Structure 1
Amino acid sequence: MTVAKSYDIKFPEYLDGYEAETEAKGYLVGVAVIANGRRFDLTIYDRARLVQELDDELSSDRAYFAVSNLLVVASVTKAEISMAVEALAKGQFRELMPSLAE
């Protein structure tokens, strides 16, 4: 079942033409979802890159990892991100925090 599209996904302009590189990196920032007058800025990781990032951060002087609106997908592609956002829309984006500033 699909949700009546009541949201819009904004991918960063720099992604056009670099989707394969972004998928290989396993990381993407600058994705925004606009829904019901709210904006949700997402940070996207695939599992492998997230584990790598966690290991790096937790072994550093910082010793923690915190990211708002972290979305983990199987593969960092527009299709995977879109499917995840559609699933979030079914729950009216309750798992996300809206951005405070536009």
Structure 2
Amino acid sequence: MQSIRIVLFFLLCLLLTSAFTAPAEEGRTLYDHHCARCHGTDGTRGLLGAKNLQKSQLSDSAIFIQISNGRRIMPAFKKRMNPDQMTAIANYIKSFRKL
């Protein structure tokens, strides 16, 4: 009985860990595919006027709106991605910030 509890506890921990890492991984994958070309893999490359994302102080909603609607030369992604994907990218972008 104790062995079953240990196995169940291990499986629960594994499920919880994967639940928290999957969105971060999705955000990184989407960012690498759609954003890194101009913003760089670490958010510092300013190709064609792209902002340095490490210095960004935008709120969560402002980041989401910029991803959704685009800005200047940056394309809008509201027709290419669903809200969850844009939120995943926004969360990933916030991980670049230098405090």
TM-score scaled by length of structure 2: 0.25
TM-score scaled by length of structure 1: 0.24
More helix by share: 2
Rg larger for:
2
More strand by share: 1
